[in-house]
Structure 1
Amino acid sequence: MVLPNGGRDRQASATGVLLAELVAALGGELRGADVRRVWRLAPLVEADPDSLSFVAHPRYLAQLQASRAGVVIVAPTLADAALQRPDPPPGGWAAWVVADPYATFAALTRWWRAHVQPRPAPVGVHPTAWVAPGARVHPTARLGPFAVVEDGAVVEEGAELGAHVVVQVRAHVGAGTRLGPHVVLGYDCRIGARGLVHGGTVIGADGFGFAPVPLPDGEGKRWEKIEQLGAVRIGDDVEIGANCCIDRGALGDTVLEDGVKLDNLIQIGHNVHVGRHTAMAGCVGIAGSARIGAFCTLGGGAIVLGHLELADHVHISAASVVMRSILQPGHYSGIFPIDDNRAWEKNAATLRQLHALRERLKALERRTTP
Structure 2
Amino acid sequence: MGRAVAQPLATGQIAEKLDCTLRGDATVMVRSVAALDSAVDGDLAFFSDNKHRRAAHASAASILIARSADADELARSPLGPRVLLLHPAPHLAFAGALELLFPAITLVPGVAASAVVHATAEVRGAKIGDMATVGAGSRVGVGTSVASHCSIGDNVVIGTDCVIHAGVRIGSGTKIGDRCVIQSGAVIGSDGFGFQPTRQGWQKVQQVGFVVIGNDVEIGANTTIDRGAIDDTVIGNGVKIDNLVQIGHNCRIGDHTAIAGCVGIAGSAIIGARCMLGGAAMVNGHLSICDDVVVSGGTLVAASINTPGRYTGVFPSTEHRTWTKIAAGLRRSAR
Deviation at residue 153 of structure 1 after TM alignment: 4.2
| Pairing 1:324-343 to 2, within 5 Å after superposition | 324-325=312-313
Computing the radius of gyration from Cα coordinates, the structure with the larger value is 1
Aligned length: 274
**In structure 2, how many angstroms separate the alpha carbons of the residues matched to 1:183 and 1:65?**
40
Deviation at residue 142 of structure 1 after TM alignment: 4.9
1:330 aligns with: none
**In structure 1, how many angstroms separate the alpha carbons of the residues matched to 2:140 and 2:212?**
16
Determine if contact 1:173/1:191 at 8 Å carries over to the other structure.
yes
Q: Deviations over 1:56-82 (max 9, x none)?
A: 555787997899987532134314555
Length-normalised TM-score, structure 2: 0.57
Q: 1:198 aligns with which of 208, 212, 226?
A: 212
Q: 1:20 aligns with which of 12, 37, 46?
A: 12
Deviation at residue 267 of structure 1 after TM alignment: 3.8
| Pairing 1:145-184 to 2, within 5 Å after superposition | 146-150=141-145, 152-156=147-151, 158=153, 160-162=155-157, 164-168=159-163, 170-174=165-169, 176-184=171-179
Q: 1:72 aligns with which of 53, 64, 78?
A: 64
Alignment of 1:99 onto 2:89: yes
Length-normalised TM-score, structure 1: 0.53
Uncovered stretches (5+) of structure 2, i.e. residues with no partner: 105-111, 191-209, 316-335
Determine if contact 1:83/1:93 at 8 Å carries over to the other structure.
yes
Letter of the structure 1 residue corresponding to residue 129 of structure 2: A
Alignment of 1:135 onto 2:124: no
1:314 aligns with: 302
Letter of the structure 2 residue corresponding to residue 317 of structure 1: I
**In structure 1, how many angstroms separate the alpha carbons of the residues matched to 2:278 and 2:21?**
50
1:124 aligns with: 115
Determine if contact 1:32/1:94 at 8 Å carries over to the other structure.
yes
1:30 aligns with: 21
Determine if contact 1:141/1:157 at 8 Å carries over to the other structure.
no
Determine if contact 2:214/2:238 at 8 Å carries over to the other structure.
no
1:245 aligns with: 238
1:353 aligns with: none
Tell me the secondary structure at the aligned position of residue 202 of structure 1.
coil
Determine if contact 2:118/2:142 at 8 Å carries over to the other structure.
no
Change (3 A) 1:63 1:270: closer
Q: Which has the higher contact order (CA 8 A, sep 6+)?
A: 2
Identity percentage of aligned residues: 12
Tell me the secondary structure at the aligned position of residue 17 of structure 1.
coil
Cα RMSD after superposing both structures? 5.0
Uncovered stretches (5+) of structure 1, i.e. residues with no partner: 1-9, 116-120, 206-230, 328-370
**In structure 2, how many angstroms separate the alpha carbons of the residues matched to 1:241 and 1:80?**
36
Letter of the structure 1 residue corresponding to residue 222 of structure 2: R
Change (3 A) 1:169 1:245: same
Change (3 A) 1:179 1:192: same
Q: Deviations over 1:203-244 (max 9, x none)?
A: 328xxxxxxxxxxxxxxxxxxxxxxxxx44322625642534
Q: Select the structure that is richer in helix.
A: 1
Determine if contact 2:113/2:136 at 8 Å carries over to the other structure.
no
Change (3 A) 1:200 1:156: same
Deviation at residue 16 of structure 1 after TM alignment: 7.0
Determine if contact 1:235/1:257 at 8 Å carries over to the other structure.
yes
Deviation at residue 256 of structure 1 after TM alignment: 1.9
Change (3 A) 1:100 1:325: farther
2:254 aligns with: 265
Change (3 A) 1:246 1:273: farther
| Pairing 1:284-295 to 2, within 5 Å after superposition | 284-287=273-276, 289-293=278-282, 295=284
Q: Deviations over 1:27-75 (max 9, x none)?
A: 462244584433557979x988x88664455578799789998753213
Change (3 A) 1:164 1:12: closer
**In structure 1, how many angstroms separate the alpha carbons of the residues matched to 2:120 and 2:176?**
13
**In structure 1, how many angstroms separate the alpha carbons of the residues matched to 2:14 and 2:162?**
39
Change (3 A) 1:94 1:237: closer
Deviation at residue 174 of structure 1 after TM alignment: 0.9
Determine if contact 1:238/1:261 at 8 Å carries over to the other structure.
yes
